[in-house]
Structure 1
Amino acid sequence: MPFARPANAARGERCDGVENNAEKQEIGRPDGEFTKQQVDYVYQDRRYVGTREVAGYVLWDMAQSFNINTYSQRFVNTILQVSFRYQQILSFINGIWDIVNDIFTAAIVDKTRTRWGKFKPYLVLLAIPGTVGTCLYWLMPLFFPGTGPEDLNKFIVYSVLAILREGIGTFLGIAQGGIITTITPHPVERTRMLTVANFFSGLFGEKLPEQIMTILLDLIGNNVIKPKKGPVSALYLKLFVGMGVFTSVVAGLVSLWFNTIMRERVAQSVKTPSIMQGIRSITNNKPVLLMTLSQILSSFSVGGSRSDYFIDVLNFASLGYITGFPGGLLGPLPFMIVPWFRRHFQSRTLYLASGYIGQVLMVPIFFIGSIGGKKNGLYKNRIVMAVALTIYETIIAFFYGLRKVIPTEMYNESMDYCEWKNGYRTEAMTSVAKGLASKLAGIYTNLLSLQIKRWIKYDQTAYIRGAAQSDSTKYWLFASYAILPLATGFPGIIPMLFYDLSGKKREKMYAELLERRANMAKTASDADRETMAKVADEQMEIGVKNKNKKL
C-alpha cells in the first residue's frame, strides 16, 4: 500500500511530521518527552483527504442511514408476520452463527494486504450482493402472500436469508468500521471528517425515508389515506415493500461509488500479524478492554422501541418530528462545539455525558406518564407527552454532536494505541472482540425482548386490522421504552470511569506515533526489498520494546 502524503504536499509544505524532528530525534527517547512543537502537531489541521473524497464520505455516511430500518421489526412482526416463537429460535441460531462467523471473518480481514488496501476490496466486491440480499428481505411478503405467523416454509426461507445476510454483513461491517480509521493518518482531520459527515448527513436528509415513512404510516393509521379497494393491509404492504426496496437500491449504489473512489492512507504493517498477535493486541490494549467491558454490560440493556409506543399507544408516529423541532433549531451548533469539548474535557466524560443523558432524562418522563395508572395514565395523553418529550429532545440535542462523534473517535484512537503499542493494527480482530461478548449478551436480550412482547400479550395482527392493543399492553409498551433501558443497562457506566487515554497521555501517544509514521514513510519511499524486510522486522519488534512502556 502506498504511504500517505497530505494534500498540502503539492504546495511545497512539509508533510513528514514536524520540522526536522524525524532527523533530529529518535523515537521513544528514554525520558519519554516530546517538544511543544511535536505536541502542537497533534492538534494541527492537516489535510490528507481531497474535497471529492470528503464529499463522497459524506454521501456514504448518509447512505448508511438512508433506510427504513427503524420499522424493520414492525415489518417482521406485522407485515411479514413471523411468530415471536420462531423469531426467538432464529435469534438464538443466528446469534451463534454470528459469533462463529465473526471470528473467522476478522482473521481473514486482518491478514488482507492488497494494492487497494485492507478494507476496500470487501466493500467493493460485497456491495452488490449485500444490496440484493436486503431487497429480497423487503420483498419476502410478496413470495408468501396470505400466510400466517406460524407458516414453516416462510420461516425457513426467512432464516436462510437472515444467515446469508449476516455473513455478508459481517465482512461489510468490519470493513466499514475500518475505513474511518485508515482514510487519514491524522486525528484532527479524522475528527473533522466525522463531524462534517454527521452534520451534513443530518442537514440534507439522511433520515428522509424514515420521516416520509412515518408520516405515511400516520396518514394511513388515521384514515386520511385509504385504500381505493381491498383491505388496509394491502396498503401497508405496498408501502413497506416499496420504500424498503427503493432505499436499499439507492443506498447500495451510493456506497458502491464511494467505495471505488476512496483510499486508505494509514499503512498497515508489512507482515501480517498472527492470530495470537491479534489476540495479544487486544489484551494489552487498555482502552479497548474498557470499552469492550462497557459495551458488554450495556448490551444487557433491554427496552421497547419508541416507534411501538408512538404507533401502538399514541397512534401518532410523527410525534417525534414535533418534539424534535426545537432541538433542530440548534442547527450546526452541536457539531461546532465538538472540537472545543475534545480539547478541554476528557474522553470518558464526554462519552458518559453524551451516551447516558438520554436514559437518565427518561426517568421523570416515566413517572409523569404513569400518573393515572394503566387505564387513564398520562402516557396516553398526546399533549402531555408531547410537552415532556419536547423538553427531553431539546436537552439531548445539545449532546447530539458528541454522541455521533465521540464513541467512533474513541474506537479510532484505540486502534492508534494498538499501532503505538504493538507496531501493527488489528482493526478487524478488535472490532470482533468488542462485539463478540456483546453479541452473546445480545442473544439473551433479543430472546428476552421477544418474550416481553409475549408476556404483555402484544397482538401481532392488531396493527394491520386497525385494532388497538389492550390498556395493560399499552402501559408496558410505554414502560419498556421509558425506564427499562436505564434500569437494565446502567452497569455499562462503571468501566468507562477508568478510561484514561486523554490529555497528556493522548498527546504523547500521537506525538510519537506520527513521528514514527513519518520516519517509516521516508524510509519506505525509496527502499529496496532488503530494506523493506528490515522495516517489517522492526515493526514486529515494537511490541517487545513497548511491552512494559506506559504513556
Structure 2
Amino acid sequence: MEQTELKERRYVGVRETLIYGVANGGQVIGYNLVRMQLTFFLVTVFGIPGQAVSLMIFFMGIWDTMNDPIMGTIVDKTRTRYGKLRPYLLFVPIPLGAATILFFGGAEFLRGVESTTAKIVYMCITYFIWEFFYTIGDIPFWGMSAAISPNPKDRSRVITSARLISGAIGGLVGPVISIFIDLQKSGKIGMDMRQLFFILGIVAGTFGMGLFSLAGLCTKERVMQQSEEPKISDCFKCLVKNKPLLLIVCSNVLGTVESIADAFTQYFYLFTLGSASLSIVAGIPGTITGFLAYTFIPALERRWTSKQIVIRAVIVKAVVSSAIFLIGAHWYRDPRVIVPLMMVWGVFNSAVSSIKMVIPTKMIGDTVDYMEWKTKERSEGTSFSLLTFVSKLTGSLATAVSAALIPVIGLQQVNQDMVLPEGGELNTRFLLWAIVTIIPAVLNLLSLIPFIFYDLEGEKLDTIHRELAQRRENLTGAAADAE
C-alpha cells in the first residue's frame, strides 16, 4: 500500500506544470524561428549560397556530436544547493537571447556588405554561438521533466504542458512570417525582409527568453540524487549501456526525413499555389486538432504502451499522407482542391505530431529510471543531451538536405530572391507537392525498425517504478535518521 501511495502521489501542482509549459513556449519562439526559417533566412534574405549553408550545417552537426554529450555529462556532475539542473536554467536565457538577436540581425547589420565571404563568416560565428547556448539551456530543461517528480504521471503532465503551450506560442512564428512575406511582396508594408527578421530576432531574444527564464525561477527538482559526483567516464558508460535510450535515438535519426517537408512548405504555397498566406487557412483545422490531441494522450496511455502509441501514430500518418498525395496528384496546382485537402491532412498530421512530441520524451525519462534501477545512478543530463543532440541533428540534416535540394528540384536564387523559372525540364511544382506530403511520411516508416527491439514497457516498466519508489522511500528515511 505504501509503495502504491508513493507512486500515485502528485508532487507537481497545476501552477508549476503550467509554468514549465510557458517556459518551453518562450524557448521555442527562437528555436522555431531558426528551425523553420533557417534556409529561407540565410539563402533568400541574407543572400548566402545554399551550398555554404548546407556545408555549415554539416560541420555544426559534427560539433554537436561532441558538444551535446559533453554538456550532458557536465550537467550530471553538477552538485549545487539549487540542484544540478536549475543553475543552468537560471543562467542561460540572457546569453541565448543575445545570440538570437545577433544571428537574425546579420542581414540588417551587413546590409551594405557585398562580400559573400564576410556574410558566411558572420553566419558561422553567430550560429555557433546560438547553438552553444541553446544546448546549455535545452539539456537541463528536458532533464527537469524527469527530475521534477518520481511519479510518471506527473512527468507526462509537465511534458504535455510543455508541448501544448510551446506549440501554441511557438506555432505563431510560421503564420506571422507567411503574412509578412505576402505583405512585403505586395508592397503593403514599409519594411523589407532584413528588417522583419531582425525584429523577430529581438522578440525571440527578449520576450521569448524572458518566458524561458521561468523554468529556472519557478520549478523544483524532486528526485533525490547521489551526493557524490559521478566521473565523466561513468556518465558515458551509463549512456552506452542504456539500450532502450539508444533505440529511441536510432528511431529519431531514421525519422529525419520527416522534417524535410517543413522547409519546403513555404515554397509549395508560394510557387505552386501562388500565395504563402494560404498555408494559414490550410493550417487552421490542424492547429485545433493538434491542441486537442494532447488531451487524449492520457486515454491513449491507459489503452496502449508508449511503444504501441508511437507505432500506430507513424503508420496512421503514412497512410493518410499517401492518400492525400494520390487524391491531389491531378489538382496539385488548384487551391480550391488542395487547400481543403491540406486541411484534412493537417488534422491527422497535427494530431500525430502532438502525440510524438510527448510520448518519446516521456520514454526517455523511463530510460533514466531504468538506468537508476540498474546502476543506482541517474543521468538526466547525459540522457536528455541525446534528445537535444538528435533534435538538432535531425533538424540540421533536414535543413542541409533541403538546402541541397533547392537547385536540384529547379528553384533558383536571383538577386537574393528565390524564383521558379518557367519552361524547365523538371515539374518543380509537382515535386514540391510530393515532398510536402507523401515522401517524408512514407520514408518515416523506417523509424519504426528500432522499436522491434524495444522492451521497456508493460510489467517490466511497472516493476522498475515500484522498486525505485521503495528505494527512494528507504533513502529518504535513512537521510532523516542521519539528521
TM-score, normalised to structure 2, is 0.88
- Per the alignment, residue 479 of structure 1 pairs with 434
Question: In the alignment, does 2:125 pair up with 1:160?
Answer: yes
Counterpart CA distance in 2 for 1:331 and 1:81 is 35
User: Structure 2 vs 1, CA of residues 185 and 355 (structure 1 numbering), >3 Å: closer, same or farther?
Assistant: same
Letter in 2 for 1:128: I
Question: In the alignment, does 2:55 pair up with 1:102?
Answer: no
> What does the per-residue CA deviation read over 1:453-479, in whole Å, with 9 as the maximum and x for residues that have no partner?
1222422337748x5454633333333
- Per the alignment, residue 226 of structure 1 pairs with 188
- Residues 485-524 of structure 1 aligned to structure 2 (within 5 Å): 485-524=440-479
Contact residue 97 and residue 163 of structure 1 kept, 8 A: no
Letter in 2 for 1:190: R
Contact residue 290 and residue 350 of structure 2 kept, 8 A: no
Residue in structure 2 matching 1:284, options 241, 245, 255: 241
User: Structure 2 vs 1, CA of residues 482 and 334 (structure 1 numbering), >3 Å: closer, same or farther?
Assistant: closer
- Per the alignment, residue 80 of structure 1 pairs with 46
User: Structure 2 vs 1, CA of residues 415 and 89 (structure 1 numbering), >3 Å: closer, same or farther?
Assistant: same
- Residues 388-407 of structure 1 aligned to structure 2 (within 5 Å): 388-399=341-352, 401-407=354-360
Please state whether the residue corresponding to 2:105 is helix, strand or coil: helix
Contact residue 368 and residue 379 of structure 1 kept, 8 A: no
Question: In the alignment, does 2:150 pair up with 1:191?
Answer: no
Contact residue 88 and residue 447 of structure 1 kept, 8 A: yes
- Per the alignment, residue 361 of structure 1 pairs with 320
Please state whether the residue corresponding to 1:379 is helix, strand or coil: coil
- Per the alignment, residue 23 of structure 1 pairs with none
Counterpart CA distance in 1 for 2:64 and 2:192 is 35
Please state whether the residue corresponding to 2:225 is helix, strand or coil: coil
Residue in structure 2 matching 1:172, options 137, 143, 147: 137
Instruction: Between 293-302 and 434-443, report the one with greater CA deviation.
Output: 434-443
Counterpart CA distance in 1 for 2:194 and 2:110 is 12
Please state whether the residue corresponding to 1:165 is helix, strand or coil: helix
Cα offset, 1:80, TM superposition? 0.9
Cα offset, 1:436, TM superposition? 5.8
Residue in structure 2 matching 1:385, options 331, 338, 347: 338
Question: In the alignment, does 2:312 pair up with 1:347?
Answer: no
Cα offset, 1:166, TM superposition? 2.0
- Per the alignment, residue 207 of structure 1 pairs with 171
Cα offset, 1:246, TM superposition? 1.4
Contact residue 255 and residue 447 of structure 2 kept, 8 A: yes
Cα offset, 1:41, TM superposition? 5.6
Counterpart CA distance in 2 for 1:415 and 1:261 is 23
TM-score, normalised to structure 1, is 0.78
- Residues 136-155 of structure 1 aligned to structure 2 (within 5 Å): 136-147=102-113, 151-155=116-120
Residue in structure 1 matching 2:99, options 133, 138, 153: 133
- Residues 288-327 of structure 1 aligned to structure 2 (within 5 Å): 288-299=245-256, 303-304=260-261, 305=263, 306-327=265-286
- RMSD of aligned alpha carbons: 2.8
Contact residue 366 and residue 479 of structure 1 kept, 8 A: yes
Cα offset, 1:327, TM superposition? 4.5
> What does the per-residue CA deviation read over 1:283-317, in whole Å, with 9 as the maximum and x for residues that have no partner?
33232122122123223667342222122322332
Counterpart CA distance in 1 for 2:283 and 2:118 is 42
- Per the alignment, residue 456 of structure 1 pairs with 409
Counterpart CA distance in 2 for 1:357 and 1:506 is 26
- Per the alignment, residue 23 of structure 2 pairs with 60
User: Structure 2 vs 1, CA of residues 202 and 96 (structure 1 numbering), >3 Å: closer, same or farther?
Assistant: closer
Counterpart CA distance in 2 for 1:256 and 1:302 is 28
Contact residue 288 and residue 434 of structure 1 kept, 8 A: no
- Per the alignment, residue 231 of structure 1 pairs with none
Letter in 1 for 2:348: I
- Per the alignment, residue 366 of structure 2 pairs with 413
Question: In the alignment, does 2:181 pair up with 1:217?
Answer: yes
Please state whether the residue corresponding to 1:271 is helix, strand or coil: coil
Counterpart CA distance in 2 for 1:58 and 1:169 is 17
Unmatched tracts of structure 2, length 5 or more: none
Please state whether the residue corresponding to 1:460 is helix, strand or coil: strand
Instruction: Write 1 or 2 for the structure with the bigger share of helix.
Output: 2
Letter in 2 for 1:216: F
Please state whether the residue corresponding to 2:453 is helix, strand or coil: coil
User: Structure 2 vs 1, CA of residues 301 and 387 (structure 1 numbering), >3 Å: closer, same or farther?
Assistant: closer
Letter in 2 for 1:178: G
Counterpart CA distance in 2 for 1:284 and 1:184 is 24
> What does the per-residue CA deviation read over 1:490-521, in whole Å, with 9 as the maximum and x for residues that have no partner?
32111113322222122111111111111111
Task: State the identity %.
Answer: 28
User: Structure 2 vs 1, CA of residues 424 and 250 (structure 1 numbering), >3 Å: closer, same or farther?
Assistant: same
User: Structure 2 vs 1, CA of residues 327 and 76 (structure 1 numbering), >3 Å: closer, same or farther?
Assistant: closer
- Per the alignment, residue 428 of structure 1 pairs with 381
Cα offset, 1:367, TM superposition? 2.9
> What does the per-residue CA deviation read over 1:233-260, in whole Å, with 9 as the maximum and x for residues that have no partner?
x522222221221132101111123312
Contact residue 39 and residue 507 of structure 1 kept, 8 A: no
Counterpart CA distance in 2 for 1:54 and 1:458 is 45
- Per the alignment, residue 92 of structure 1 pairs with 58
Count residues in correspondence: 475
Question: In the alignment, does 2:197 pair up with 1:243?
Answer: no
Cα offset, 1:410, TM superposition? 1.0
Cα offset, 1:93, TM superposition? 2.4
Contact residue 38 and residue 399 of structure 2 kept, 8 A: no
Unmatched tracts of structure 1, length 5 or more: 1-17, 20-37, 229-233, 372-377, 529-551
Cα offset, 1:78, TM superposition? 0.8
Greater Rg, structure 1 or structure 2?
Answer: 1
Contact residue 135 and residue 388 of structure 2 kept, 8 A: no
Cα offset, 1:397, TM superposition? 4.5
Contact residue 346 and residue 503 of structure 1 kept, 8 A: yes
> What does the per-residue CA deviation read over 1:60-100, in whole Å, with 9 as the maximum and x for residues that have no partner?
12213334342232111111111112113312322222222
Letter in 2 for 1:274: K
- Per the alignment, residue 538 of structure 1 pairs with none
